[in-house]
Amino acid sequence: MAILMNKNTRILVQGITGREGRFHAERMVAYGAQVVAGVTPGKGGMWVMDRIPVFDTVRDAVRATGAEVSVIFVPARFAADAMLEAADAGIRLIIAITEGIPIQDMMKVVTYLDEKGVKLVGPNCPGVLVPGQTKAGIIPGNIAIPGPVGVVSRSGTLTYEVMYAMQQRGIGVSTTVGIGGDPVHGLGFIEVLQMFEEDPDTQAVVLIGEIGGTEEQKAAEYIARHMSKPVVAYIAGRTAPPGKRMGHAGAIVEGGEGTAEEKIRALEAADVRVARHPEEIAEILASLL
């Protein structure tokens, strides 16, 4: 079992005729994902890879193919409208890979999607991977094997490093969700942790956080009160200087808040094992499973 998606999930790619959209759509298909449609306004009637029809609108694509998940590779200035269009067309899950979307645009999008009951992963995220079944986004499929550990992360590259270390020790993944590190985004740690807690095939969870904001502290409170499954964590940015942005727009320490030490203390108080470096997560998991 997996969360959010499985091998039968029908996926469309908004921006599929662009360089990034096509590149990653091809890799999604090669992994086994059911990519059934693409959307690029003005390019309706085209075909990608001689098997994926392109439509002018998401509504047309959904009506013709039954797509239920959309992956957004649309340029930042059009990405908010693309997400709103997907929600209006009946898409249940939107995965926004695009980075650089203005915060004001995302505030409107998140409010609207909440009202519509549409789940959002991202923006500025690597997407979702269900090893051995499907993937939507840019997470490499060859760095993880199927297994009992759920992974939720704010950092794309650290996610890859951790999953590869797990694979080397024979530890598999149920689902990986890259939630992204922008300050305004869709699903957060708490929502994904709840899904993993309810998933019978997930036995443990890896949480990868970073400096900035208070999401990890809130996740620690949730873990202490609601999680019965063990959680292992890593927090990036221990040596980051205050006031300097490190990677994501949300990865910044301001006024002494959002430091790695603060997050680590909160997680350890919730009985979460916190790794000193990414590779140590696999070592800790091996002792727990």
What DSSP line would sit under 54-98, residue for residue? EESSHHHHHHHH---EEEE---HHHHHHHHHHHHHTT-SEEEE--
Who contacts 267 (Cβ-Cβ below 8 Å, separation ≥6)? 207, 216, 219, 220, 223, 231, 233, 235, 274
Task: Say whether the peptide bond before residue 123 is cis (omega within 30 degrees of 0).
Answer: yes
Alpha-carbon span 194 to 22, nearest angstrom? 33
Contact 181, 212 (CB under 8 A): yes
Alpha-carbon span 280 to 217, nearest angstrom? 21
**Residues with active-site annotation:** 248
Alpha-carbon span 255 to 155, nearest angstrom? 23
- Positive/negative CA dihedral, 12, 14, 16, 21: negative
**Measured between alpha carbons, how far apart are the two ends of the chain, in Å?**
18
Tokens linked to 147? 């297994």
Contact 151, 177 (CB under 8 A): yes
Q: In the chain, where does DSSP find H-type helix? A: 19-31, 58-65, 76-88, 103-116, 156-168, 189-198, 215-226, 260-269, 280-288
Contact 70, 58 (CB under 8 A): yes
